[in-house]
Amino acid sequence: MQKYFGTDGIRGPVGQMPITPEFFLKLGWAVGRVLAKNKTGDSNPMVIIGKDTRISGYMFESALEAGLIAAGVDVGLIGPMPTPGIAYLTRTFQAAAGIVISASHNPYTDNGIKLFSPEGTKLGDELELAIEAELDKPMTTAEHLGKARRLQDIEGRYIEFCKGSVPWGFNLEGLTIALDCANGATYKVAPRVFRELGATVSPIGISPDGLNINLDCGATKMKALQKHVLETGADFGIAFDGDGDRVMFVDDGGEVLDGDQLLYLIATYKSVHNDDFKGVVGTQMSNFGFELALKRLDIPFVRAKVGDRYVIEEMNKHNWTLGGESSGHIVCRCATTTGDGIISALQVLQAMKHANKPLAELKQGMQKMPQVMINVPCVDKAALNTHEGVKAAVQEAEATLADAGRILLRPSGTEPVVRVMVEGKDHNQVKQVAEELAAEVEAANL
């Protein structure tokens, strides 16, 4: 079991262990030590460091840089860049690893890191355990110190990569797109991608000040974009989260399309036009209506545990190229190695352009079932599956829904909460069952 690494790297409140400059210094050194053991030849391995726009990124960037250099590793500094962009650049620069300083959709008061392998994929458990083993050792200075340099023309490289994920000649001329960049890592590159493909772009959330990342904007808070779409008369809206690996859409009527609906649109297109398309991986939280819609199209569907790592593991197991979560974290392996909000958006637009129909019409092929999720604060998430009162409440709730619904109690991998999810045909019944079950979990004082 990892001591520090969770399902999506390391994350938490700034100033509290392990999100401190002292820990990041040691972490950079530990990563460098592991990489230095595997180096070939006389040159130092190189690690790329990128970040989102939160103010604490400056502090942690410097700490990681110093630790890596002390371990004998060279550093390539990128600055603000979407998480999937750093995965891509790690591959193209043939770096030994890529590090992203980000807390994704969390507020600016949090921060964390994600690590990518030379292939642009998340690090495996074996490497994370090796890094944690080094963290327990005294910090030393390598005989041959590393060097740092700022990499050039980074934005242009990633923009061209995104545009290259759709066929040559694909364009968005005649479309007006309302764009919400969450005052985060996509604030520079996303507007350019869609403009260079011919769209008229009306952006919001492109003025980061270090404190306003994800603040009442972005893929987790859609009201700002919904309002912007209606006020501007845009054809649709696209929202990213703070580090750019999630995407959500808004149709021209101001209605939100979540990750399940976007996956449905992509899958519908690829099932006809891509010979290597075999099925879709969702998660335990994927809407049952999504599963039913795919079944009507004879598209195979399986559920993974929540988290992009588990989605990708299941995709690899079946050799499938498409998967994702209702949160808007979509992985299109035919185009890239990890979840990428911009590339996923382009896959949706490719399907929309081919159908020559607005999003409001295209989404009608999938009818979402009512779903209610309540986050319950939890101290001991491990006790969730053993508490007799909670187990009895779940059994009673399942009996109430009979065969017309679904219940899931899931400890969050990124927050100290239990997510109580109830799904069924009748919204009022679903809401009542979810509230009763959440109250039982809260009363258990887990």
CB atoms inside a 10 Å sphere around CB 272: 11
Alpha carbons 304 and 348: distance in angstroms, whole number: 22
Secondary structure class of 177 (helix, strand, coil): strand
Per DSSP bridges, beta strands 46-51 and 74-80 are parallel
Q: In sequence order, what are the beta bridge partners of 257?
A: 249
Tell me the catalytic residues. 104
Strand order in the sheet with 301-304: 301-304, 280-283, 322-324, 330-332
- Asked if omega into 18 is within 30° of 0 (cis), the reply is yes
> What residue has token string 């002390």?
70
Alpha carbons 200 and 176: distance in angstroms, whole number: 5
Cα 228-234-240 angle, rounded to 5 deg: 60
CA atoms within 13 A on the CB side of 5: 23
Task: List, in sequence order, the alpha helices (H) in 217-340.
Answer: 223-232, 259-273, 288-296, 308-318
CB atoms inside a 10 Å sphere around CB 340: 31
Sign of CA dihedral 434, 421, 180, 82: positive
The torsion angles phi and psi of 105, rounded to 5 degrees, stand at -90, 0
Classify residue 150 as exposed, middle or buried by CB count within 10 Å of its CB (0-12, 13-18, 19+): exposed
Alpha carbons 298 and 132: distance in angstroms, whole number: 45
Question: Amino acid letter at 9?
Answer: G
164: left (phi over 0), alpha (psi -120 to 50) or beta: alpha
Alpha carbons 219 and 328: distance in angstroms, whole number: 8
